A and B are shown apart, each in its own frame.
Chain A
Amino acid sequence: MSGERRQFKSVKEVPPEDYYTSGRRTCAGCGPALAYRLVLKAAGVNTVVLGPTGCMYVANAHQFLTSPYAIPWFHTQLGGGGAAGVGTAAAFRALMKKGKRRLEDVNVVVFGGDGGFADIGFAGLSMGMSYDYPRLLYVLYDNESYANTGIQASSTTPWGATTTFTPSGKVRRIGNERMKKNVALIMAAHPGVRYVATATLWPPLDLMNKVSKGLGSGGPSFIHVLVPCPKGWFTPPDLTVELSRLAVETGLWVLWEHENGRFRLTYKPSPRKHVKNYMQLQGRFAHLPASEIDMIEEVTEREWEIWAEMDRTGKLMVP
């Protein structure tokens, strides 16, 4: 069952149908909500959506008995995203092979947060990427903290960000002292993986086309989507898309894809903007002195030498 790999060349080609609609109570300017909408537009109607616990579990209902999903959706436990995708895909394959359901391409999209995929469900995600289920797409919507429980650090929280578990104090000044985990690179390192990519809300067609490529790749795929979170980043709600753009243009968020063993950058910021353009808009970095931000700029510059080399050689390296 190989699938179509529809590519959206312009906004005019984006289908008007939405499968993630009203009936939710996400925050104003919610980055994950925009990602959900774009991802499901690209995936289309023949899709099952699975949601590990996270801010997008609680924010997508709770207050009233409503559902924003116009396609089948099922909750899974915080650490269950990888397994939920495998169980769902395995059921479709078994039922189709055994003649219990008609043969058809069915997409399985699992939206895990950074807690759900980078921390507690990391092993399960890795297990999912080690199987060969086609049309199984794991989307890590990364707002860089446990945003539902009140902004606690995860392993994708960037160095220097304040969270309620990593506050900037009189003695421990920096806030989060761990480096952001590069989940996409780890997923790309799984043997035989067909498609791994990173994306954010900007450019929107980049995200949608990567979803389409992943689902059509013939195996499980993974997209790490950076999604600004006004609540956790201390940013105005109208800056969500602008922050996505700046994350890319400052080179702090690198847009790439790894397709059938070949790495390539899908956007090269030129000239790359100073990281302060992105960081200074965010309250979570407000405590960092200019010297620390300059240090991040230097690290980013060095890392980009590696990213450029990966783009040249098509091979995975660790920046």
Chain B
Amino acid sequence: MKVLTRTDLEAVQIPRKKPITGARAIAEAVKIADVDVIAAYPIRPYTGVMNALAEMIANGEFAAEIIVADSEHSQFEIAKHASAVGARTFVGSSGVGLLYAAEAIAVTAMDQLPVVALAGCRALDDPGNFGMEWNDTLFFRDSGWLVSWAKDPQEALDMTLVAYRVAEDRRVMLPHFIVVDGATITHIAAPVDTPPKEDVTEFLPPYRPHYPLDPAQGPVTKAQHIAPSLIGPEQRKHVDVAMKRSRDVIAEAWRDYADYVRRTYDPFIETFHMDDAEIALVTMGAYTVNALHAVKEVRRDGIKAGVVRLRYFRPFPAWDLEKVLSGVGGIGVLDFSYSFGSPDSAGVVFNEVRAAMYGNPKPALDFLFLGGREPKPADFVKALKVLHKYVRTGDTPEGKRVFWLTLRGEDV
């Protein structure tokens, strides 16, 4: 039987902390943010958030236009155009749904419209698969969207509120993905503190666009076709500068948020046991918890391991990552993404981490969890042991650098 710690006791004593699913938690954030237009289309597992929002609106908990779209492409177009008028918007999808919307997703960033979307990660077809992979969301790696990755329902709620603040900041004006590791977060309940609306009104003031598409504000022509020589590079640079500026805006937003809700987060990177770590697992999202359990287990055998969790994928916190990893002898990436034919035939996140560490390279291994098969606790322990041995001896099983940990049969 688990012995309750002081933190656990506090959790049950705070009356406003209730066990709700991640989908419900994000819906609560959308309600607190007083979102005006929501566009829904069903696909598992993200769709729970839309079920929750539809119920809230039907019961008069808050007022918003909720559109049942004919496709994900329409969903993201609806959100984009509502945002252009001056509405605060919410949208989302999973897996192939995100890819169906890809065109609309891409232009939203180039239009610099602060749409906030939930990406509930799901393995891509074919074959159809309810499992979790990161490849759906990482398709939008290069799109100009801000991308943050929540580890639990509480953080998903907090990230949603912060996302609106950052996306709508005049220095940024970019759309924002809140990413959760599929059903692990959307469908699993955890204690969540939902801040009262009054507590965050000042933190998140109403959205006031610069040049809304509204006749009351006079004529404006948006996204007119251009000859590439006219403003092609300048427009791209505009988005680039917004993304670069978001770094400070994100840090500032999380600092402010902590003042309002009395919950603090390191904005970009969360670390565990990194003070004396000789090896580190780098990951994102919900499975950080499994990594942490594995670290505790191997530490009993004297292996000094730590965990580094990226909270943002875009902007990619290379500056912080290099700092927190500067003291370790080797890195293992826990990777639910893959890029066929990429350098070393490895994961998307692995190659991003390696690129971030280019100035201070470390021995690095990629541990893959692909095709949606649920990892076992032993997989994480194995990853740590392989990495530990690699750092000590330079040897890995069969000399490999990339391991398909959940694969049955030969990993060729």
Contacts and interface: CB of A to CB of B under 8 A. Distances in A.
Interface of A: 45-48, 50, 57-58, 60-65, 67, 69-77, 79-80, 82-88, 90-95, 97-98, 100-102, 104, 106, 123-124, 126-127, 131
B259 interface: no
B222 A47 contact: no
Contact of A91 (B81, B107, B215): B81
Nearest to B78: A87
Interface of B: 34, 36-37, 39, 63-65, 67, 69-71, 73-75, 77-87, 89, 103-104, 107, 206, 213-227, 230-231
A90 B222 contact: no
B230 A88 contact: no
A95 B34 CA distance: 11
Given A72-B215, A97-B63, A90 B37 contact: yes
B80 A87 contact: yes
A91 B104 contact: no
A93 B104 CA distance: 22
Main DSSP-derived SS at the B contact region: mixed
A80 B220 contact: no
A103 to B, nearest CB: 11
Nearest to A84: B81
B64 A61 contact: no
A73 B81 contact: no
B215 A83 contact: no
Contacts of B83: 91
Main DSSP-derived SS at the A contact region: mixed
B86 A91 contact: yes
Given A80-B104, A87-B82, A124-B74, A98 B215 contact: no
Contact of B226 (A65, A79, A85): A65
Contact of B82 (A46, A75, A91): A91
Given A83-B70, A100-B36, 19 more contacts: A47-B215, A63-B227, A72-B220, A73-B219, A74-B84, A74-B213, A74-B223, A76-B77, A79-B103, A83-B73, A83-B75, A84-B80, A86-B74, A87-B39, A90-B82, A91-B89, A94-B82, A124-B70, A124-B77
Given A77-B104, A83-B77, A100-B206, A91 B36 contact: yes
B107 A77 contact: yes
Contacts of A64: 227, 230
A104 B221 CA distance: 21
Given A74-B222, A102-B216, A131-B67, A80 B37 contact: no
A102 B78 CA distance: 22
Contacts of A82: 70, 74
Contacts of B221: 67, 69, 72-74
B65 A90 contact: yes
Central interface residue in B36, B89, B222, by most chain A CB within 10 Å: B36
A159 B183 CA distance: 51
B70 A74 contact: no
